[in-house]
Structure formats: C-alpha cells, structure tokens
Structure 1
C-alpha cells in the first residue's frame, strides 16, 4: 500500500467528470459551484455535498468515446469499474462490489429518472438502456442505504435528456456510426418543448459481429420521457422503455487457450460441450413504464411520488442447460422535502418510503444445440423489499453543514419448486435493519470544502445468488452488512480542481462466487473484508476560454484509485486465506486524459487507462495481467444557419493494440478466467440535428 501511496503523490489527478450539460458555456462547465448534486435529495452544489459523488454529462457519455456504451465513460471515474465481457454483457463495480457479479449488475442500486430500475430481487437490467438516450449520470459511491435502501456498493442516478423548460426548443437528431468487427448503428431523437411540457422520444439500434467467436449482439431500444406542468403546483411525468437485446456469450478461457487464440470461444471438453456447439447466448426483452407526480404545497414543502411496473422475458441457452425466465416487477417511491426552518439555522427534512415486489418464474431445460430439451426444474420466486427513510440537514454556524439520516430496510423471499413432489414453498425473511448515516461538511472560503461521514450498508442476497445457475436454492445465504468511514476535501483554485477522498469499509458476511466444472455458479458467505481506499481527481485548464479565442478548452485530467482490500476470518475449505487481497479489485487504477476544443469546431479527446495486476481467485494463486488502454477521438462540430448542427468524428480504441481481458470470470473453475477484449479498432460516425 505504501508504494502506491507514494506513487499517487506524483500523479496528476482530475475532476473532469464534473461538467454540466453541453449547452452550458465552457466557463460554467468548470465551476464546481455550478454542478448540482441530486443524490441524497439535497440539490446542492457539489462543493456543499458531504458525499463522494461523480457526475457524467451527455458530453462524457456520447462524445468522448466513439462507441455508444456506458462502459468507457464509467471507467473514467475513480472507484468505479465496468466490464463488458462480450458486447452487451455489462458488469458494474463501485468500490469492489464486482466480486458478487459473474454477470449483470448487483449490489448497486440504479434509478432512472427517479424510478427504481433495480428490482426487489436485487437485479438490474442496465444493458436494456441505450446510452444515447441518457443525458446525465450521477454515481454515489459507498453505502447509501439511509436514503436508497439495500446495497453496499453505491447508487447510480440516470436522467434522460428531456426536462421542462420555458425556453426549450424543438429538436430532432439523426445519427449513424460504423466500426471494426461489424459494428454499426443508428439513432433517432425528437424533442419538443412548450412552456408547460417537454417530450422526448428516442429510438436506437446497435449491432456488432464481435471480436471473439460467438460474440455477436444487437439491441433495439425505444424510450419515451414526457413531463407536463399541470399548474404552477403540479408536474406529471411519464417514462417508458422497451428494449430488445441479444448477445452471444463466448465463455471464459484458460490462460493457455487465451494465449493460443484469444478470439476463440470456450471449446468443448470431455465433460461439457463448448459455447459454439450449444449456441450460448442471452435473449432479453424488457418493458418498463413509470409515472411521476410532483406537488409543491408551498415554497417550503414539496412531494414527489413515482409508480412503476416492469416486464422482462429472458432466455439463456447455456453450456449445460437452457434457462427461461419471466420477471414481473411493480413498486413505488415517495419523497417529501420540507424546509422546516429558513432563518437562523436553515434546516431541511427529507422523508419517505419505497416499496417493491417482484414475481419471477424460472424454468431450466436441457440444452440441445440452442434449443430447450427436457424440463429440469420449474421454480417460482417472489421477492419483496421496503424502505422507510428520513434525513435531516442543517446549515450550522461557521459554514458547517450537518446531515443525519436513518432508514428501515426489510427484505423477504419465497421460493417454490413445482418440478419436485411434494411441492414445498420455502420462505426466507431477513430481520429489518436500521441504517444510519451522519456527515459533517465545512466550507473553507468560497471554493474549498472538507467533509467526513459515517454510513452503514446492508445488502441481501439477490435472486440470482440464492437460486443461481447451479439450480439449487440456498436458504442459508446471509446478507452483507458493513460500516464505512470516509473523509474528503474538494475545491477549485483558479484553473485547478481537486477532489480527494479516503475511506475504510468493514464488510461482514461478504458474498462471493464459486463455480463447478460446467461453469454453473453458486454463492457463499466468505467471512469479512477490510476495504481501505483512496480516490482522487484533479484537473487543470491550460487556457482561460474567451469568446474570440481559437482555443476554447484545453485541459488535462487524471483520476486515480488506490485500494487495499483484504479478507478477514475467511476459511476456504481447509485453507485459511485471511489476509489475502479481495478478488477482482486492482490495487491501482490510473486514468489520464486530455481534452481540447476550438472555436472553429474541431475537438479532440485522449484517454489512457492503467490497471494494475489483481487476484482472480480468493486464494490469490492467479493474477490478472497489467492492462494499458489508449483511446482517442477526433471530431468536428459546427452550427450551420443557426439551427442545424453537424458533428462528425472518428475514434480509435485500444490504440496500443494490447491483448487483454476486459472482464475476468472471478473464481472460475479450471482457471477459465479470461474473456479477451478487442484488439485495435476504430469507429466513425456523424450526427445531424436541427432546432426550431
């Protein structure tokens, strides 16, 4: 840990992600005071927010990298890692939560336009979203259960591009792209805004042949966001989403297979067939509909209530079986903000609740070359989650902002297997848990602040963990619980921005993955972990933007993550692996970038990522390779006739032409850890937009 801390002292670090949407001026985009944080319902500037928060604007999501995907943008944030083992197969880790996720997004709570996307069973179909329809991402790192419920990793708040605005213009956009390995796509957006309404409709298509064998994908996505101001006190919103996604799963390789031919899919063995033979893939159709009602009682009290429903049709021909799953989810969330005291010691109270219910039917069949065969199991799973929360925030004398939050969390499951006789339902309820959070922030002048916080986290096992692909129900898996201590300093000094945070998270009953020879996984509680980390961002603006100057933005930035995560009291069979590094967490990640924009419309983005070696199994017997990735995007954006905007770009990824694995299968049986990422590849595209 010491050598990484010393190295960190000599690294430039950045806060590049704290930019406002692209329609703001360049000057505004570099002011911390202009970045409003919505997390914890404070709606305060980042400088006054006592939490580790990162913001990605539409520019970071849709301009910096050529391929429209969340993965590269998320990976520019310290403490955040996102994998894409094959196109469309997302895994998201915030401060080490990836250890539980062989695939999918777990132990991270995700909201879309204030609607919960994470269902009552703990799963999130994040790959159902098209990044081109997202205008902003806010990432809250660390336990946030005092306001958002179960989860020890963090919370992600996603926002669309439409919002009510009196001067919002009508707008239409069409875009197309093409790239290496059969990548192609189109996107169509139309937005209309009046004094009392804003509507956005977006359709996107993306497809790729993939770098590896059996890694083809396609996704069609249709999203709708509409907001109507009924009267000065009431606003009603409707959000809808439909996604049709297919991606093939090539499977993990051993090191020998990876070195011999990284593009191959998992081959057959004497025990199991290979991915190509079984036509392994994911077929996923997701529909989501939500309603939001905001009512402003007066200048001091307002309430936002949302209701939603979701349907997912999921099929997964796997090497050993064929899983068919249907998910139905319903739920709601209500939040009331009350400015209790306006003079003297301004105090705000936020309180509310969230409830979700999920009904899942899962049937496993034999897999005969991509077709379902004999029924193996017929299961029904019901999950319910509820959260009651309250948070008090006060502006104390001497520039101190105090926050105290508390929530009550309750989770229950019921599992029924109809393919066994007699039919028996197995309920599993967890004791309600109270999760407190306390934070103090002190402003030092107008441009610097420091904060410290104590928060608690709780994460019940997800449906895919208590009933994993191995097909058995595990009624003994316990929730994770932990306590996080954190301190940070952030600010802006002229052209220089900085954000430094240190934390220690002690996690109990850590959930980790195991696998059998076929590749099917199961999960166990692995004792405890002690997670220490340092996250840092700095940015320096090399020029001060002026209206007539050629260079409007020239900026260098870097984000650095240093971790020392260790197992405690952990017995793996007959071996004691206490003291080992936690699986899948790099001790050092450094992301460095350069941005430039000119008055003529030319722009450039350069991004380099360094990922240090990290253990691939709990015994620390296998480690990853060091990864160095270089990405560059060059483009030209120009406004024509005051209404038309043309944006053309070319982007190169993995320009160093490294052979590396973007997503490892942790604790994989037989050492099948490796999923090769594409070698050097290029993408080009054009966008044309008109306003009226």
Structure 2
C-alpha cells in the first residue's frame, strides 16, 4: 500500500510539472454543470440528438462524476431499459431490455466497444468488470437489436469512450482517493497530456479493494490504461489503446429464502455432499491484457476510412463449489469501414458506410477438483475455437433538414470448433457452423418542429450462444444450442427546449424473440443452457430531465436539476415447454416489470452540491415456473460534494455519500433458476464513503 501511495505522489508531481509547462498555468474550466449536449456519436459519426432514429441512452462524464465512482452500476441504472446487477462486489451483470434471461454472470446478448475496438470477443464474452469506471469518459447505449453495423446482438450495443480518446485537447491531470464501509478503499490517478499539436497521450491507473458485506466477498483490482494519439496530418490520426487489468473477488454464492431471511451476510453453506463457498474459497481471478491500433484517414471532403486491429489475452480462474476451472483465452481481430458524406445540397444530404469486422478466439477450458481453493485431480478439459465475421453497409439521407432515413444490412457468419483435452483427448477439432444470418434495419425520424421529433424503426436481432454457454460449468459441450433471433419494432419521440434545459425521450417497442436461451442449474449448482422457444417482449421507456433552476450565482440554491426515468416491461414466454412443464405465458425470469429511477441535483453556494437518487424496482420472478419472486425495493443514494481552487492551478473536490440510505434488505443479483432455491445474493445495508480529488 505504501509503495502504491509513493508511486501515486511521484506521478502527480511529474504530471503537474509537465502540464504546467504545456498549459502556461491555464486552468481547465469546470464543465460539471454544463447543460446536456445536443449531439451524439452513435452510428459511426456524430448526429444531432433530436434526429437520431434509434433509442439511445447517454451516460455522460457529468453523470459519472455524480456517482460514487467505484462502480458503473448506479449510473447505468439511470438509463431506462438498462439494468446492471451486482451479485457481490466485483461480480456484475448487465442487461438491455431483458437479456438477463441468459446471463449467469457478466454480459450476454450485448456488443460492447471500447473506442473502435470490440471489448466483446469472438466467443461472445465481455469482461466489463475488468474496466475501472475512472478510466471511462462516457458511454452511449443503443437499445434493442442493432446488428446492422455492429454484428451479433439481440439486446443492444454499448459504445465506450475511454479517457484520453475524447475530443478534449487540453492537458489536465487528477489524483483521487476514497474509502468507505466494509473495508472499501480506492485510489486513481489520471492525466491527459498534449505534448505537441500532433501528439497527446492519456494514462489512467486505479487500485480498488473491499472486504465486502457478506462472508467470502473480499475483492481487489489493479487497472492500467493508456491512449496514445498521433495526428500526423489534418484529418488523419493513429491511436493506440492498451489496458491491463488484474482482479480477484470472492463469490459467496446464492442463499435460499430461509437462509437469506435468517442471516443475509452468510456465504452459501454446505449442503449434502457439497461443501460451502467459504470452505472451497470460491472466487474469480481474471488477468486481462488488451491492445489495439486505430487509424482514421480523411481521404477528401467526402470519404473517410477507419481501420482497427486488436488482440487480447485472458487468464481466468474460478474455484467453485464442485470444481476449479481455468481458462486461457486469446482473441484477435480487425474492423474496417469506409464513410461517405455528401452535404453540399441544403435540401438533400446523404451518406453511406460499408465495412467488415472479423474476430477469432481460442480458449483452453480446464476443470479440476477444488480442494479448498487448490486444484486437485483432472475432471474435464476442452479446447474451443470461435470464429465470427460480418459485412455491413448503411445508407442514410436527410431531406429538407427534417426527415432522416436510414437503412442498413449486415451478413453474419459464425462457427465454433472444439476438441477434448482430458480425461480423453481427441486429435481433431469438431466444427459446428451456423447458416449466415442477415440482419436488416430500417429507421426514420421526422423533425416535426425544431424542438420535437418522432422516430420509428424495424430491425432484426441475431445472437449465437457464447462460449460460456456452449461449454458451461457442468463441463459438457452443448452442440444443440441454436442462435436467438427476432424482429424488433419500435416508435418514439424526443423533445428539447431551445437551450436544452428541458428534455423528454420516450419509446414503445415490441420484440419477438425465437430460440431464447435460458439458464438452468443441476443439483451441484453447475449451470447449463437450453433454447426455450419464443419470448414476447413489449415495453415502454421514458426519460425526462429539467434544470428547474438554471445554474446561476444568486440565491441559496444556485441550480436544481430533476430527472426521472421509467421502464415498464411486459415480457412473457410465448412458447416454452421443458420436461413436460409448460411455461408459456409466464413472466420472463429475472426481469422486473417496473423500474423508476429519479434524481435531484442541487447546486449550493461556495462550491457545494448535493445529489440524491431514488430507485424503485418491482418484484422479480426468480424461476421459469414463477412460483417465487424477489421482493420489490426502494434504494436511495446521496452524495454531497465541495469544489474549490487551490493555488490558482489546482482544484480540490471533497465528497461524502451514503448508499442504501433507507437500510433496505434486498437482493441485487439473483441467481435465476437456481437448484435448491438458492436464488438470493444480499446487497449491502446502509453504507458510507468519503473521498477527495485533486485536479489540475
């Protein structure tokens, strides 16, 4: 710990000297209270927010600053239709419009990009928890199946802008430290340094640890990220993105309802022949290295070419109740596309995009007996190779600066191969291929007035099983799993006031999924997956925000922003029969029907501000038969902050907050369809944190 603090202080000192020399004592203007942006980068280029043809959620840098800072969960949960869960500290699940249906842990059905580099590998897995929130500048979330430009997904797409890749060209740096209940400690250092008009780089380092609320929930993570940018000529740039994440967190396991009510702090106890989670030292350890180069070239006033090449390596270990799993994963790929824009005619502008993305993943998955956190005898070992690539194209047109029309299409190829390593080895890989899948999308938006727009879209989703589902923790390769497919239809509207002070965004959608993949578990707690038939997903999503009092320098309340986000999900199995049990008509497992997230942000005198957020989540079905539900809950979080200047060139921020202010007992990450009724993972009761940031 002392070494980490020493390195942090030295880094800040060096960064301060460099930044001062480059900036000439210029202080970066605080942008925390600027009004919302009117433009969004969503489909390979920046578009006016009102004219977007799809449902989009924005997690801005301002919103991230209002949260605790050690997790993305509360910020992402402000977006209607998006749900992030935490089974234990470090163990997250992310869903868009109900994709928790097939999410044992992590991310499923969603394609995630870090700049122009896919964080989702060729096997469909995404290690989102490897990232540190402080290294993220903002996120753009495209809701609903959107494979026309981004390949296989049936839930949506998340586009992450890392720190150092944003358009801010000034030099700045920051050091932060925070601590909280249950042994929470976090520190972070970051800098973005513009060395010359052509070269700049960003560097982020973060360390985080916690003992956790429940037994067997300690966690620790080191994270290092860099973005190097070289603008070698006007409109031409090479970027390098690299990150290394090493983390480990204990997994307490699910509890039955009786255990959860009796003692929510306990880890999964021994049951029958199986020992408990603490005895087996159940945990996950993940070391991930990712790197890639991005080249953007402006060929002329109309054409732009972008290409990225990337690779990653993951060393993953998971001592579980019944086995000790090791995975060694390698992923390589490239993405390339050409943009054309023709904007000379003020009454008719149009553009086109065309490209290809290719990825290949190789994973050795090895299972051994777990002897109290140590490997024992061999159980099963397999090698998997995943290959996917897709071609995509998009045409867009703007007519009389009011009507936007988009049509896009992708052709997706996917296959995987496997062979046994032990106890019996096979010499040759066996290949499973799927028919090429077309994913079309057609969308339109109409600017009814300069401040009000209507939109509508139709698109197809396609999502094959991930490698973690083809070869799950029961150690059996399931070659029978078929890809999920379906058509999504939706419509919506947006309204903004002239100065963006008030905003409303609402949408209604209907998605009809076929071959939905669901999670089941056996008596040992090992998971496996099957196709459940059809699912009907209809919903309403709405978001509204208003600066009721615009930021100003008079009165006690210097500014007040209110926001409310509503999600209503009518998700039902439409054709699902399993082992003679007919679940058709039942509610979709793991998805709450109603979620309402509201917030209030007060600006106060002398640099003080107060932020409060309330989350209401209705009851959640825990199994396909719908005979047990997790109770609804109200979650309240608050944060107070004080910003002031130090020595002309520094800015000091002190903050303190309370999570779960009402001290509610709730389960934030349920194990759906868990054998033996072990559904519940208790979240923390009321807990506290405080911290400080020094920036320049």
TM-score w.r.t. the length of structure 2 is 0.93
Separation in 2 of the partners of 1:27 and 1:73? 17
Select between 302-311 and 191-200 the one with higher mean Cα deviation. 191-200
Separation in 2 of the partners of 1:170 and 1:555? 29
Structure 1 position 351, deviation (Å):
1.1
Q: Which residue in 1 is equivalent to 2:125? A: 123
- Listed as ranges, the gaps of 5+ residues in structure 2 are 1-27
Separation in 1 of the partners of 2:477 and 2:485? 22
2:185 counterpart SS class? strand
Structure 1 position 35, deviation (Å):
3.3
2:221/2:245 contact within 8 Å kept:
yes
CA distances 1:391-417 after superposition (whole Å, capped 9, x unpaired)? 000012471110000000111100111
Q: Which residue in 2 is equivalent to 1:606? A: 612
Separation in 2 of the partners of 1:647 and 1:575? 57
The reply on whether 1:190 has 2:191 as its aligned counterpart is yes
Separation in 2 of the partners of 1:115 and 1:40? 15
Structure 1 position 42, deviation (Å):
3.6
Select between 207-216 and 193-202 the one with higher mean Cα deviation. 193-202
Q: Which residue in 2 is equivalent to 1:38? A: 41
Q: Which residue in 2 is equivalent to 1:569? A: 575
CA distances 1:283-305 after superposition (whole Å, capped 9, x unpaired)? 11000011000100011111111
1:85 counterpart SS class? strand
Separation in 2 of the partners of 1:660 and 1:462? 30
2:598/2:613 contact within 8 Å kept:
yes
Q: CA RMSD in A?
A: 1.6
Separation in 2 of the partners of 1:298 and 1:162? 26
Could you tell me which of 442, 461, 465 is aligned with 2:446? 442
Could you tell me which of 645, 650, 659 is aligned with 2:656? 650
Q: Which residue in 2 is equivalent to 1:199? A: 201
CA distances 1:531-580 after superposition (whole Å, capped 9, x unpaired)? 00000011122113346666443011110000100101110211211111
1:275 counterpart SS class? coil
1:72 counterpart SS class? helix
Taking structure 1 as reference, are residues 24 and 337 closer, same or farther at Cα in structure 2, changes over 3 Å only?
A: farther
Separation in 2 of the partners of 1:231 and 1:540? 42
Separation in 2 of the partners of 1:27 and 1:449? 26
Structure 1 position 621, deviation (Å):
1.0
1:146 counterpart SS class? helix
2:551/2:603 contact within 8 Å kept:
no
CA distances 1:586-631 after superposition (whole Å, capped 9, x unpaired)? 1100001101123521111100000001211111111111111000
Could you tell me which of 313, 329, 334 is aligned with 1:327? 329
Taking structure 1 as reference, are residues 28 and 264 closer, same or farther at Cα in structure 2, changes over 3 Å only?
A: closer
Taking structure 1 as reference, are residues 585 and 43 closer, same or farther at Cα in structure 2, changes over 3 Å only?
A: same
Separation in 1 of the partners of 2:677 and 2:328? 32
Could you tell me which of 443, 458, 463 is aligned with 1:454? 458
Q: How many residues align?
A: 664
Could you tell me which of 358, 363, 366 is aligned with 1:363? 366
Structure 1 position 640, deviation (Å):
3.1
Structure 1 position 28, deviation (Å):
5.0
1:178 counterpart SS class? strand
1:258/1:674 contact within 8 Å kept:
yes
Structure 1 position 424, deviation (Å):
5.1
Q: Which residue in 2 is equivalent to 1:669? A: 675
Separation in 2 of the partners of 1:544 and 1:88? 37
The reply on whether 1:432 has 2:436 as its aligned counterpart is yes
Q: Which residue in 1 is equivalent to 2:181? A: 180
2:620 counterpart SS class? coil
Separation in 2 of the partners of 1:173 and 1:643? 12
Structure 1 position 84, deviation (Å):
1.1
Q: Which residue in 1 is equivalent to 2:67? A: 65
2:107 counterpart SS class? coil
Taking structure 1 as reference, are residues 103 and 25 closer, same or farther at Cα in structure 2, changes over 3 Å only?
A: closer
CA distances 1:291-328 after superposition (whole Å, capped 9, x unpaired)? 00010001111111111010000111100000011010
Separation in 2 of the partners of 1:664 and 1:519? 14
TM-score w.r.t. the length of structure 1 is 0.94
